[in-house]
Copies of this chain bind each other. A is one copy, B any other.
């Protein structure tokens, strides 16, 4: 009998390990030898599970999507107030900070390297999912949520480029303060009527989200 290995399970394990390495250094700056060495297998093993370096990238992109991205949404669904939901969001934004950076870098690498794939659609899906989740959970219009997503993106990028000048964690805290003022944090969901203040705020702040 052969060595007992759950091929698919192990493949995912390898992908997981590849992810941070690839993102940190960039697709083009990691050699297969390096990758194998850092993971702790031989190059041959890598090629046993993936037909090519490019394919690792592609599979990684898929894997990362289906695995890590959406996990946190379930955490907010049952929470009664927006303030509490926002707490979870902020917590997750911090927790996943590096992950989002990596994802962003990965997306850029995908864009530049992989020709035969609809990278755009993948990112659109991600953007939509995240935007819709925020709109629903935080009870804000989609446009506001999209703006929030865009702002998060900018934050992640800036913090990545200037980690000491604009540390990511601080940026998240700042954003939290903004949102506390801007969002209908005192609403209990699902609430049919929104408070005056709240509505007014949304109108005033409409710009943020339009």
Contacts and interface: CB of A to CB of B under 8 A. Distances in A.
A179 B207 contact: yes
Contacts of A157: 104, 153-154, 157
Nearest to A23: B112
Contact of A165 (B107, B120, B204, B210): B120
Interface residues of A, number: 50
B111 A161 contact: yes
B158 A153 contact: yes
A162 to B, nearest CB: 5
Interface stretch (A13-21, A25-33, A75-83): A25-33
Interface in A117-146: 119-120, 123-124, 127
B162 A158 contact: no
13 contacts: A26-B109, A108-B161, A120-B162, A120-B164, A127-B162, A151-B151, A154-B155, A154-B157, A157-B157, A177-B207, A181-B206, A181-B207, A208-B208
